[in-house]
Amino acid sequence: YTLSLPAPPADRDVADYFLFDLQTGYCDYYATSMVVLARAVGLPSRVVVGYVGGQYDEENNQYLVSEADAHTWVEVYFNGYGWIPFEPTAARNLIDEDALSLPLPPELELPSQTSEAVGQMEFPGSEVSLGVFVLLIIGMWFWNRIDLARLQHMDTTSLALEIYQRLFKYGRWVGLGHHKSDTLYEFNQRLKNAFSSLETDPRREKMLAGGEIEISQLTKYAILANYSVRPLGEELSGDILLIWKRLRIRMRYVIWISAWKSLGKKIFKRENKDVQLNLIINGAADGKG
């Protein structure tokens, strides 16, 4: 964990630079990475920005919260439970223990026994949160296995169309959308262009290699399933599933990169706003002096 970070090189992707080179940062970076990973496996998640802690001003009976108390964490949505907070930032607790030492207003002063009990309580730290997150990833792995088993029981025509619908969904997640005027071939080309634009980085080339061919193959099967007078032969089901298993991994990687880029831009946009605000405040203070 560090607040002292160098600016990323102009010719490098911010997310890749943080992950593969810096490998250190502050709450914005940790929260962003967890959200990207969660979304990559289908978990609804969001970055939450707010303030934690502060100093109690007894004279004015109020808390003073400054920019130093700003923090970013993660919330993951679970059906039946709602948004559950997670603290992915290294060396930081989900509930800041320093906040427990803040003096309470007189009317909220706790009995001595209760205060001691609070001091002895253990709160879940980042290790617990990340442990739960790992369990969620394992759960998603089992869900993927169940989903593949369901696909295996489809007839070939339904399988080809179902998988291509999933390509549309993945395309939306990387910002392609679906134009009403698009033919299957046109969407196929736009999706392949998204792959080729990322393959220019040698570190990504190995992961993405073959993706464009796999997209074309699944497009061909979808067109045959949609327009052919004959149903697709059952012997093709194995090929379609094998192609999809490989392409699904590549597509999630593309989504991960796209989400990193989007959230990375938001992080640095926020940092620029903070710098501008500090300049304004400092300028006003200098003017008063």
pLDDT digits (tens, 9 = 90+) for 215-269: 889 999 998 888 887 888 888 998 999 998 888 888 877 777 766 666 655 555 5
User: What is residue 146's predicted lDDT score, i.e. its pLDDT?
Assistant: 83
Strands (DSSP E) contained in 3-78 are 45-51, 55-57, 62-64, 70-78
Residue 162: pLDDT band with limits 50, 70, 90: very high
pLDDT for 76 beyond 80: yes
In this predicted model, which residue has the larger pLDDT, 123 or 134?
134
User: What is residue 99's predicted lDDT score, i.e. its pLDDT?
Assistant: 44
User: What is residue 118's predicted lDDT score, i.e. its pLDDT?
Assistant: 37
| Alpha carbon distances (Å) from 251 to 37, 108, 190, 248 | 13, 53, 14, 5
Whole-prediction pTM: 0.45
**Of 280, 271, 253, 198, the residue nearest 5 (C-alpha):** 271
Highest mean pLDDT among 47-56, 179-188, 204-213, 256-265: 47-56
Q: How far apart are the first and last CA of the chain?
A: 36
Give residue for tokens 């978990």: 43
pLDDT for 163 beyond 70: yes
**Of 260, 50, 48, the residue nearest 173 (C-alpha):** 260
In this predicted model, which residue has the larger pLDDT, 84 or 104?
84
Token readout for 178 is 């679906």
Q: pLDDT exceeding 70 applies to what percent of the chain?
A: 62
pLDDT for 16 beyond 70: no
User: What is residue 128's predicted lDDT score, i.e. its pLDDT?
Assistant: 52
User: What is residue 209's predicted lDDT score, i.e. its pLDDT?
Assistant: 75
Stretch (H or E) spanning 28: helix 27-40
For 111-132, the pLDDT digits (tens) are: 444 434 333 434 444 455 566 6
User: What is residue 202's predicted lDDT score, i.e. its pLDDT?
Assistant: 66
Least confident of 14-18, 38-42, 178-182, 274-278: 274-278
Which region holds residue 78: left if phi is over 0, alpha if psi is between -120 and 50, else beta? beta
Q: pLDDT exceeding 90 applies to what percent of the chain?
A: 6
User: What is residue 201's predicted lDDT score, i.e. its pLDDT?
Assistant: 63
Average confidence score pLDDT of the chain: 71
In this predicted model, which residue has the larger pLDDT, 14 or 122?
14
pLDDT for 273 beyond 80: no
Helix axes 126-152, 237-288, angle to 10 degrees: 150
In this predicted model, which residue has the larger pLDDT, 74 or 119?
74
